[in-house]
Amino acid sequence: MKNTNSKLFIRSIAAAFVLSAVASSCDKDVTDLQPFDRITETAAFSTPERCELSMVGAYDAAQSGFYIGTAVRGYPFGAANVEQGDNRGEDMLNVATFYAITYGSTYNPTTANNVYHWETLYGLINKANIVIEGVQGAQAAGILTDAQAKGYEGEARFLRALAHHELLVHFARPYNHTGDASHLGVPYRTRAVNTAAAKDAAQGQGRNSVKECYDLLIEDLNFAEQNLPASRAGTLNISRATSGAAIALKTRIYQHMGRWSDVIAEGNKLPSGSPYSLTATPEGPFANYTSNTESIFSIENSSVDNSGVNGALPVMYSVSPGRALVAVSPIIFNAPYWDADDLRRTQVNKHNGRAYFSHKYRNITTQDDWNPIIRYAEVLLNVAEAHLRVGSPDMNAALPLLNMVRNRAVTDPAKQYTAGTFADAKAMLQAVLNERRIELLAEGRRWADIHRLANDPDFSTGGIPAKVLYNQTTFASWEPGLNYDANGNYTGTLGLPAVPYDDYRFVWPIPVSELNTNPVLAAQQNPGY
């Protein structure tokens, strides 16, 4: 389990660090800060124990960066990545005004959700970079062995890659926007911002190309894979990065790049049962989120350290006594490809007599459900898709991977897929994409798929899909098959029109807090803002 004392420790050195590469409006010389009640950066890596606490502090930054002053709402990965990724898509439904800006695509360079996502992601990246440089120095000083230092660096580079990819899917166009991915991505930060000189350098760094960003993502994850352990003791096997987590994340990264043979190669490193396998039922990873065979990497929350009543996933997504602020949309709930008897309808969804809500996050009082960043089910679907996208599609390789995920929920043999179900690889690929929407529902993955598929020649999302408005529904709106025509098109009322791909709102704006301190980025703002 995460040592909650590490939160106090890591924040005790915060005044001696510049903890965000945003390089905010504070103009104080951070190198002069030596308050009596703070631990200096040098001291933070002066013993093996403090190196460990500094590493845990980077995970803490992943779980709960600050939102508007000292408020905590799970930015970036404690909860916010799920809530923002879901509300940018059409399969989850904003109930009140809480996520209205994201849901309605009315964000601007000052709106809080996109601003704090950017700032806390770069805060995490900077803490990861501080750890990397700190443990390298500790190794040179004989405080850590080479293997220990590289292990910590592997964890930090895993987190750095995770954060940069999250930035790319929100603030940049997808990899295939240009033929060589030469369009603007985000600044890929690989140096700690912990001195005045480093701050000045960061304020002059512009956006890397998308190709450069993805190449650096793979470089970070390759290093992580080579230097992280295959497993860890107890709950740390899920809450701390492992070589398997780096491999799993690479299947996602290569998927976004369209490098399908690489997706397959990485996925083949994780055969079922070694060390991951699907749980027996769909609710397994959520009913026992601290210890199961399917969760590859999750962000830990606890009863004393979580995203709070205004951010925690069980509070936002669950029926009473949760606040039920994000429902499951009829668009996905009614979809004819989601079998009416699918166990996921009842095991990981519930209704309150007015709408259906996710039941993946259940601890409403303690708010300590872990946030599933990547599960084995996703890896299987990533690889299944890749087998159908390579130059010579292999339906025989893809079908069992698809069925591994689907058949634990669709238990009637008469309804399970066979080789004869699909006319061709394209039809099977559509089933894989449909399965992703069902299996990964309420886990924040829908926007990432909308983003990467926007320019797909056969399965284009076209931009931001049209959405249902909650006040235009009744409980009767949720019924399998309702409001779908024979061609699989949703025919119910769509109160929010689609936003086409070439509209400026497809990507988020760089925050004004960044533009005010970085003239290079100010000249590289996403068009339209």
Please, which residues have CB within 8 angstroms of residue 267's CB and are 6 or more apart in sequence? Answer: 251, 379, 380, 382, 383, 386
**Do residues 15 and 65 share a domain?**
yes
Match 């893809």 to its residue by tokens.
Answer: 398
In a shared domain, residues 512 and 475 = no
CA distance 158 to 321: 36
Which helix or strand (DSSP H or E) is residue 73 part of? strand 71-75
Does 221 share its domain with 299?
no
Neighbour count for residue 24 (Cβ, 10 Å): 15
The answer to whether residues 215 and 317 belong to one domain is no
Q: Which residues of 478-503 are buried (b: 16+ CB within 10 A; e: fewer)?
A: bebeebbeeeeebebebebeebebee
Together in a domain, 236 and 353: no
**Amino acid at the residue 346:** T
Angle between helices 243-257 and 210-227 (to 10 degrees): 160
Helix (H, G, I), strand (E, B), or coil: what is residue 239? helix
Count the Cβ atoms, other than its own, within 10 Å of residue 275. 16
Candidates 57, 31, 32, 62; CA nearest to 44 is 57
- What's the CATH code of the domain at 347? 1.25.40.390
Q: Does the residue 119 lie in any domain?
A: yes
CB-CB contact of 413 with 398 (8 Å):
no
Q: For residues 461 and 457, what is the distance between their CA atoms, to the nearest angstrom? A: 10
Neighbours of 427 (CB within 10 A): 12
Task: Kindly state the helix (H) or strand (E) to which residue 75 belongs, with its residue range.
Answer: strand 71-75
Q: What is the DSSP letter of 208?
A: P
Q: pLDDT by residue (tens digit) across 249-305?
A: 999 999 999 999 999 999 999 999 989 999 999 999 999 999 999 999 999 999 999
Q: Which residue has the tokens 């660096």?
A: 153
Three-state secondary structure string covering 104-151: HCCCCCCCHHHHHHHHHHHHHHHHHHHHHHHHHHHHHCCCCCHHHHHH
Judge whether 93 lies within some domain.
yes
Could you tell me if residue 287 is inside a domain?
A: no
Q: DSSP 3-state assignment of 71?
A: strand
In this structure, the answer to whether residues 214 and 107 fall within a common structural domain is yes
**Percent of the chain residues past pLDDT 90, beyond the cut:** 90
DSSP 428: H
CB 402 within 8 A of CB 422: no
Q: Are residues 137 and 170 in the same domain?
A: yes
Q: Are 512 and 405 part of one and the same domain?
A: no
Residue 256 lies in a domain: no
Task: State residue 100 phi and psi, 5-degree precision.
Answer: -65, -35
Q: Amino acid identity, residue 171?
A: F
What is the SS3 string spanning 293-349?
Answer: CCEEEEECCECCECCCCCCCHHHHHCCCCCCCCEEECHHHHCCCCCCCCCCHHHHCE
Structure tokens at 483: 């409001």
Q: Using DSSP, state whether 372 is helix, strand or coil.
A: strand
The answer as to whether 527 is a domain residue is no
Q: Is 96 helix (H, G, I), strand (E, B) or coil?
A: coil
Query: Would you say 21 and 121 are in contact if contact means Cβ atoms under 8 Å apart?
Result: no
Same domain membership, residue 136 and residue 24: yes
pTM: 0.94
Same-domain status, 335 and 217: no
CB atoms within 10 A of CB 127: 30
Residue 38 has a pLDDT of: 59
Which residues fall within 8 angstroms of residue 39, CB to CB, at 6 or more apart? Answer: 9, 12, 13, 16, 50
Residues of the chain with pLDDT under 50: 1-36
How long is the chain? Answer: 529
Domain that holds residue 450: 295-487
Q: For residues 433 and 312, what is the distance between their CA atoms, to the nearest angstrom?
A: 28
Same domain assignment for residues 312 and 216 = no
Could you tell me if 300 and 209 lie in one domain? no
Number of domains in the chain: 2
User: Residue 69 has what pLDDT?
Assistant: 81
Assigned domain for 197 exists: yes
500 belongs to a structural domain: no
What's the Cα-to-Cα distance from 470 to each of 80, 89, 176, 198, 332, rounded to whole Å? Answer: 21, 14, 34, 48, 14
Count H helices and E strands in the chain, helices first: 22, 10
Cβ atoms 294, 381 nearer than 8 A: no
Does residue 276 sit within a domain? no
